[in-house]
């Protein structure tokens, strides 16, 4: 029972729930495995390391609570997209469960300049997008980081994000633009403001009838991104957890109507390789319920 593109778009636009970020890539995989309780000595090659992380992701995707309807999308790492879950290509295993698949496409960050870290070049992007499309992937995600409220740095960063987003749109995929504001930066509120106006300008350049998604840090000032949530060219605004604990991330997210979660660490933090299946499912289910609630039941800030 795979979903059509129109069904996936409707699910992402109107669905009650949140997007799981299962896309830790090469550099952050050892850290993700360590958090899961698998120490560095447990693998002797990159392939074995990626097998271990794939087993963890398969365990998450096949857990009954993952397909309870509260998770409406999942962001995959390229190797997870190319892998299989229960003998099916991972994107199909997700759509069979009513979960919309996305893929992380960026190749990591450049060194900081003008207070921001741009994305590294992606020379193979068109080929990756063609492969993703053929596997039934709905959209993509690309991340860059804002560390300081530097107007020219932020303008360049947002321009780069939207340049790539337009390339993705030509492949019939929906881009998730992720200009993360570092939640530890002292001028975070000012960065939010500069980011908002830069995004609004770029959205004017997106052709009529086309839409992007935005993955943003939870703003310092609740409701700051309301204009983006309501924007006709924005399919959905999702929030990253950005180093907040799950409790903090959920508390802050609940103050922002229309924003739903797309958490990674805040979703997976309590999962361990040694947990029995029932412990694993209960732990994941608890996290899913908390994040679902913050995404769907809003409080007045």
pLDDT mean over 34-54: 92
Determine which helix (DSSP H) or strand (DSSP E) holds 142, and give its type and residue range.
strand 139-146
Count of Cβ atoms closer than 10 Å to residue 282 Cβ: 13
Strands 84-85 and 88-89: antiparallel
pLDDT over 90 at 22, yes or no: yes
pLDDT over 80 at 133, yes or no: yes
Determine which helix (DSSP H) or strand (DSSP E) holds 100, and give its type and residue range.
strand 100-104
d(CA 249, CA 253): 6
pTM: predicted TM-score of the whole model, two decimal places: 0.96
Q: Computed over its alpha carbons, how large is the radius of gyration of the chain?
A: 18
- Position 29 scores a pLDDT of 84
Q: Report how far apart, in Å, the C-alpha atoms of 270 and of each of 32, 34, 245, 267, 296 are.
A: 11, 12, 11, 8, 22
- Position 301 scores a pLDDT of 56
- What three-state secondary structure class fits 264? coil
- Position 184 scores a pLDDT of 95
The domain limits of the chain are 5-296
pLDDT mean over 150-163: 98
d(CA 277, CA 207): 47
**Residue 19: closest CA among 271, 280, 267:** 267
d(CA 258, CA 235): 11
pLDDT over 90 at 198, yes or no: yes
Are the beta carbons of 142 and 185 closer than 8 angstroms? no
* Sign, CA torsion 254/255/258/259: negative
pLDDT over 60 at 64, yes or no: yes
d(CA 170, CA 120): 21
d(CA 107, CA 157): 15
What is the crossing angle of helices 188-205 and 151-169, to 10°?
40
pLDDT mean over 188-210: 97
Catalytic residue check, 104:
no
State the CATH class of domain 5-296.
Answer: alpha beta
**Residue 17: closest CA among 65, 70, 63:** 70
Judging by beta carbons within 10 Å of its beta carbon (0-12, 13-18, 19+), is residue 196 exposed, middle or buried? middle
List the catalytic residue out of 178, 180, 202, 252.
Answer: 178
pLDDT over 90 at 267, yes or no: yes
Average model confidence (pLDDT) across the chain: 95
Catalytic residue check, 88:
no
- Position 1 scores a pLDDT of 58
pLDDT mean over 247-268: 96
List the catalytic residue out of 104, 202, 215, 252.
Answer: 215
**What percent of the chain shows pLDDT beyond 70?**
98
d(CA 175, CA 159): 14
**What percent of the chain shows pLDDT beyond 90?**
93
- What three-state secondary structure class fits 295? helix
């Amino acid at each position: 029972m795979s979903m059509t593109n129109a069904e996936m778009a409707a699910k992402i636009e109107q669905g009650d729930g949140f997007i799981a970020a299962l896309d830790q890539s090469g550099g952050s995989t050892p850290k993700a495995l360590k958090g899961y309780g698998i120490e560095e000595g447990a693998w002797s090659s990159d392939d074995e390391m990626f097998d271990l992380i794939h087993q963890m992701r398969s365990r998450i995707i096949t857990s009954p609570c993952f397909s309870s309807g509260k998770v409406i999308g999942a962001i995959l790492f390229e190797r997870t997209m190319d892998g299989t879950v229960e003998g099916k290509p991972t994107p199909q295993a997700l759509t069979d469960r009513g979960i919309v698949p996305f893929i992380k496409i960026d190749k990591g960050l450049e060194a900081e300049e003008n207070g921001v870290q741009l994305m590294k070049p992606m020379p193979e992007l068109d080929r990756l997008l063609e492969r993703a499309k053929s596997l039934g992937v709905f959209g993509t995600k690309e991340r860059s980081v804002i560390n300081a409220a530097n107007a020219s740095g932020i303008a360049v960063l947002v321009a780069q994000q939207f340049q790539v987003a337009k390339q993705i749109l030509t492949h019939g995929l929906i881009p998730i633009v992720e200009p993360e504001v570092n939640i530890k930066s002292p001028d975070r509120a000012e960065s939010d403001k500069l980011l908002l106006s830069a995004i609004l300008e770029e959205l004017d350049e997106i052709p009529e009838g086309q839409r992007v998604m935005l993955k943003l840090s939870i703003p310092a000032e609740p409701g700051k991104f309301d204009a983006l949530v309501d924007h006709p060219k924005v399919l959905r605004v999702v929030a990253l957890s950005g180093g907040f604990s799950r409790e903090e991330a959920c508390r802050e997210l609940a103050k922002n109507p229309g924003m739903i979660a797309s958490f990674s660490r805040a979703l997976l933090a309590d999962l361990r390789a040694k947990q029995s299946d029932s412990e694993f499912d209960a732990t994941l289910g608890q996290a899913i319920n908390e994040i679902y609630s913050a995404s769907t039941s809003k409080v007045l800030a």
